[in-house]
């Protein structure tokens, strides 16, 4: 199965262009030299740097690599980013960290089928994890998928039922189809669940990164990962807080109030924390800011406390943006609780049987924008602006308790 050279050249052009933009260094890895659309020489070195021992296998077309084992194919095509041992410490410098297979970093599922799909089709939106179906035959992709599975940690059986994924000490991120979070809310074909230690999980849509809700207890039933028709994630936690009836508006707006799209770049797990990285794009598709959203739980006597830390940087000089921390109109029991200082504040929202306090603090002056729920306006520059926001779910709130939470948040 040899694909048309044109297609291959185009693939290479795309990869090289992206690498040129995003790689900090290590372009030497692209030993193929300058891309040229006439250069139809069959070669897979356009997407990989053959290590010395397999270089002698020649040009790397599927025919030439027919005798290679899964491990050798992995060394040829994957190791320069994911490392030979699967640790995700790349041989070349990448702007984002590839997955560590050793630590079980599989947001798209760790079954043979799920890994095969990622190898074949790449990860939508990732400039690095590109499709390999034009580079390897189907059989070869299965061999590589099997090899990747040998690099994974032996799965600890944390439940009688191995389909249930629990979060112990390390946060976990899984992506897939999400059913409506509450009746009447839309389906999320591109959804994401972030599980945090302490039995907290957060539900997001990822086509435009927006928090949909918080859950507590359990994490996810991934039984459907085996299926080929896309994966449905079944969150197991009880809903503790739903953002804007499950269908929140844009989380970020420009200074002019126009929505910005949060385009997901990558997710990363580091011990108990999960990090979601995205770009904010205006209506023309231009990037106006970069955001790292780091999530972790805080131990407390409240039933749930999840901290979101936004690290935001302007992409092109100073800018004002608005952040909708909870775009629903809050029933604000502390209506006069304007920021004590210009950099912190809080609001309360009552749900049935429980109340969520959203407490926030920023390194820069923030301003509450009236009318639209908890929307903050702040300025971004080239140095990061940090905004901490904690969702605390508790049975009841008193002004004293709220004040204590504000004290807790320090940057």
Binding site for ligand HEC (CB under 6 A): 48, 77-78, 80-82, 94, 96, 98-99, 105-108, 115, 118-119, 123, 126, 128-129, 132, 144, 148, 266-267
Q: How far is the CB of 400 from ligand HEC (least distance, A)?
A: 43
The nearer residue to ligand HEC, 71 or 328, going by C-beta atoms, is 71
Q: How far is the CB of 68 from ligand HEC (least distance, A)?
A: 12
The nearer residue to ligand HEC, 105 or 235, going by C-beta atoms, is 105
The nearer residue to ligand HEC, 172 or 196, going by C-beta atoms, is 172
The nearer residue to ligand HEC, 151 or 393, going by C-beta atoms, is 151
Token pair for residue 273?
Answer: 């924390």
The nearer residue to ligand HEC, 115 or 374, going by C-beta atoms, is 115
Q: How far is the CB of 141 from ligand HEC (least distance, A)?
A: 8
| Rounded Cα gap, residues 165 and 44, in angstroms | 37
Q: How far is the CB of 87 from ligand HEC (least distance, A)?
A: 13
Q: How far is the CB of 128 from ligand HEC (least distance, A)?
A: 4
The nearer residue to ligand HEC, 62 or 339, going by C-beta atoms, is 62
Q: How far is the CB of 314 from ligand HEC (least distance, A)?
A: 22
């Amino acid at each position: 199965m040899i694909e048309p050279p044109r297609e291959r050249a185009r693939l290479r052009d795309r990869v090289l262009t992206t690498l040129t933009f995003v790689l900090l260094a290590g372009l030497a890895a692209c030993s193929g030299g300058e891309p040229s659309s006439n250069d139809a020489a069959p070669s897979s070195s356009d997407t990989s740097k053959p290590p010395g021992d397999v270089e002698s296998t020649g040009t790397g077309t599927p025919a030439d690599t027919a005798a290679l084992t899964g491990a050798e194919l992995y060394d040829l095509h994957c190791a320069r980013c994911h490392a030979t041992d699967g640790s995700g410490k790349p041989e070349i410098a990448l702007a984002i960290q590839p997955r560590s297979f050793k630590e079980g970093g599989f947001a798209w599922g760790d079954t043979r089928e799920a890994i095969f799909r990622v190898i074949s089709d790449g990860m939508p939106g990732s400039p690095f994890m590109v499709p390999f179906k034009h580079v390897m035959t189907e059989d070869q992709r299965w061999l590589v998928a099997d090899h990747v599975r040998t690099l994974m940690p032996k799965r600890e059986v944390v439940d009688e039922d191995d389909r249930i994924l629990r979060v112990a000490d390390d946060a976990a991120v899984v992506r897939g189809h999400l059913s409506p979070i509450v009746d009447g809310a839309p389906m999320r074909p591109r959804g994401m669940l972030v599980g945090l230690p302490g039995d907290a999980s957060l539900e997001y849509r990822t086509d435009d990164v927006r928090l949909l809700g918080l859950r507590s207890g359990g994490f996810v039933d991934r039984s459907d990962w085996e299926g080929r028709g896309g994966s449905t994630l079944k969150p197991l936690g009880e809903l503790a807080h739903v953002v804007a009836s499950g269908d929140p508006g844009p989380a970020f707006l420009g200074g002019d109030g126009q929505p910005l799209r949060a385009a997901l770049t990558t997710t990363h797990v580091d011990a108990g924390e999960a990090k979601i990285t995205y770009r904010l794009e205006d209506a023309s598709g231009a990037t106006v800011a970069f955001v790292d959203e780091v999530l972790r739980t805080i131990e407390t006597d409240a039933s749930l406390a999840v901290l979101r830390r936004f690290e935001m940087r302007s992409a092109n000089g100073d800018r004002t943006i608005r952040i909708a921390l909870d775009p629903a109109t809050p029933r604000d029991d502390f209506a006069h609780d304007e920021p004590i200082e210009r950099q912190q504040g809080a609001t309360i929202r009552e749900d049935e049987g429980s109340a969520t306090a959203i407490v926030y603090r920023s390194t820069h002056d923030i301003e509450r924008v009236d009318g639209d729920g908890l929307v903050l306006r702040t300025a971004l520059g080239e140095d990061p602006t940090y905004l901490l926001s904690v969702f605390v779910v508790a049975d009841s709130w008193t002004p004293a308790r709220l004040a204590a939470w504000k004290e807790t948040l320090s940057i």
